[in-house]
């Protein structure tokens, strides 16, 4: 039987069949993996083939993972080379961010957007907690708007505490499969509850403490609303290490670089120091926001964004 993974802990999974039966599932033996060296070879959103495990009640073996349309992946933590797939087969990924308490850095946003570009996931940036901005809201909106104008990301502003302000997001995600990601404390759980009050009891049950102190992974979980919207909540992610993208490929995933790149003098231009580099020229003349260019440099230099 076929099923969709709704929870992944790295050692066991929950899988829901199309008629709504939920199975405890495990992998056993060899499973053909699509991404090697991950802390969770099977991820939330995966479409799988299950076989009932006759030895245990309500338990199944995952025999096969069907090819993924797309996914969001990051480094599990700074020290490890292990990668963690946050979710697969997504209609979009919403990065929930806030200017304060906690502040989401541009470096973090840009690493997330790079991953979305590289793995074909439409990205939405939801700037939460705008109620905390007071009179600065116009200035923040115009700055964010300027920086991300040509970055191929939909940007929305709102407050999880004000249900009127999240209607645009609610309409956008209707009947879709959506990943919600962001730092711990930005308001993901509050937002989920505001979008779908029916979740109240369940959301927030994802423990933020699971991952602290240990080098374990964090676990995502998919909730399905009555209308069929599938929302994947993740515990807060502290960093977003870029995975499996060669340095030479990175500029391609900065959409605002693309139209200038082919005008560089050298075809293998890294857009850092070369003469007649069209990317550098367009950073100087303001066509490419310098904030985005700084992120590019930082990613290229493999800097991390830990504070």
Residues at the site binding Zn ion, with contacts judged by CB under 5 A: 264, 269, 271, 277, 279
User: Residue from 38, 189, 218, 295 that binds Mg ion (CB under 5 A)?
Assistant: 189
279 binds, among Mg ion, ligand GDP, Zn ion, none (CB under 5 to 8 A by kind): Zn ion
187 binds, among Mg ion, Zn ion, ligand GDP, none (CB under 5 to 8 A by kind): ligand GDP
Number of residues this chain uses to bind Mg ion (CB under 5 A)? 2
Contacts of 273 (CB under 8 A, 6+ apart): none
The residue whose Cβ lies closest to ligand GDP is 187
**Residue among 133 and 269 whose Cβ is closer to Zn ion:** 269
The window from 158-166, 186-194, 220-228, 269-277 that contacts Mg ion (CB under 5 A) reads 186-194
User: Which tokens hold the place of 117?
Assistant: 């570009």
What are the φ and ψ backbone dihedral angles of 26, each rounded to 5 degrees?
-135, 160
159 binds, among Mg ion, Zn ion, ligand GDP, none (CB under 5 to 8 A by kind): ligand GDP
**CA-to-CA distance for 182 and 112, rounded, in angstroms?**
9
User: Which tokens hold the place of 175?
Assistant: 């009947």
**CA-to-CA distance for 239 and 78, rounded, in angstroms?**
8
> At closest approach, how far in Å is the CB of 193 from ligand GDP?
8
**Residue among 41 and 182 whose Cβ is closer to ligand GDP:** 182
**CA-to-CA distance for 15 and 24, rounded, in angstroms?**
7
**Residue among 230 and 282 whose Cβ is closer to Zn ion:** 282
**Residue among 117 and 189 whose Cβ is closer to Mg ion:** 189
Residues found near ligand GDP in the complex (CB under 6 A)? 128-129, 131-132, 159-161, 182, 184-190, 236
The window from 95-103, 184-192, 249-257, 258-266 that contacts Mg ion (CB under 5 A) reads 184-192
Give one word for 79, left, alpha or beta, with left for phi > 0 and alpha for psi -120 to 50: alpha
**Residue among 166 and 250 whose Cβ is closer to ligand GDP:** 166
Query: Applying CB under 5 A, does 218 fall inside the site for Mg ion?
Result: no
**Residue among 15 and 186 whose Cβ is closer to ligand GDP:** 186
Query: Applying CB under 5 A, does 4 fall inside the site for Mg ion?
Result: no
269 binds, among ligand GDP, Mg ion, Zn ion, none (CB under 5 to 8 A by kind): Zn ion
**Residue among 57 and 135 whose Cβ is closer to ligand GDP:** 135
> At closest approach, how far in Å is the CB of 287 from ligand GDP?
34
CA-nearest of 27, 24, 69 to 46 is 69
The residue whose Cβ lies closest to Mg ion is 189
**Residue among 94 and 118 whose Cβ is closer to ligand GDP:** 94
Query: Applying CB under 5 A, does 190 fall inside the site for Mg ion?
Result: no
The answer to whether 274 and 264 have CB atoms below 8 angstroms apart is yes
- CA dihedral (293, 299, 302, 305) positive or negative: positive
Where does this chain bind Mg ion (CB under 5 A)?
Answer: 188-189
């Amino acid at each position: 039987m076929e099923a969709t993974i709704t929870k992944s802990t790295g050692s066991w999974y929950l899988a829901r069949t199309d008629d709504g039966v939920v199975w405890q599932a495990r992998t056993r033996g060899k499973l053909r993996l699509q991404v090697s060296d991950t802390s969770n070879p099977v991820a939330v959103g995966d479409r799988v083939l299950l076989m009932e495990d006759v030895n245990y009640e309500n338990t199944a073996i995952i025999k096969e993972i069907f090819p993924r349309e797309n996914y969001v992946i990051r480094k599990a933590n700074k020290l490890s080379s292990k990668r963690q797939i946050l979710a697969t087969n997504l209609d979009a990924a919403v990065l929930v961010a806030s200017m304060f308490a906690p502040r989401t850095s541009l470096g973090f946003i840009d690493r997330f957007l790079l991953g979305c570009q590289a793995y074909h996931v439409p990205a939405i940036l939801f700037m939460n907690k705008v109620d905390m901005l007071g009179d600065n809201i116009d200035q923040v909106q115009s700055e964010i708007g300027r920086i991300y104008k040509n970055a191929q990301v939909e940007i929305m502003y709102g407050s999880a505490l004000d249900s009127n302000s999240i209607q645009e997001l609610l309409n956008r995600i209707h009947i879709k499969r959506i990943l919600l990601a962001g730092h711990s404390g930005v308001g993901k759980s509050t937002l989920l509850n505001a979008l779908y009050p029916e979740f109240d009891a369940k959301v927030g049950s994802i423990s933020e403490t699971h991952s602290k102190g240990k080098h374990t992974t964090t676990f995502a979980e998919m909730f399905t609303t009555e209308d069929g919207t599938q929302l994947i909540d993740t515990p807060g992610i502290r960093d977003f290490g870029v995975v499996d993208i060669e340095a030479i490929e990175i500029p391609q995933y900065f959409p605002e670089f693309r139209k200038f790149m082919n005008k560089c003098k050298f075809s293998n231009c890294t857009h850092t120091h070369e003469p007649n580099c069209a990317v550098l020229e367009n950073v100087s003349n303001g066509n490419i926001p310098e904030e985005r260019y700084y992120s590019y440099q930082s990613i290229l230099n493999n800097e991390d964004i830990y504070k």
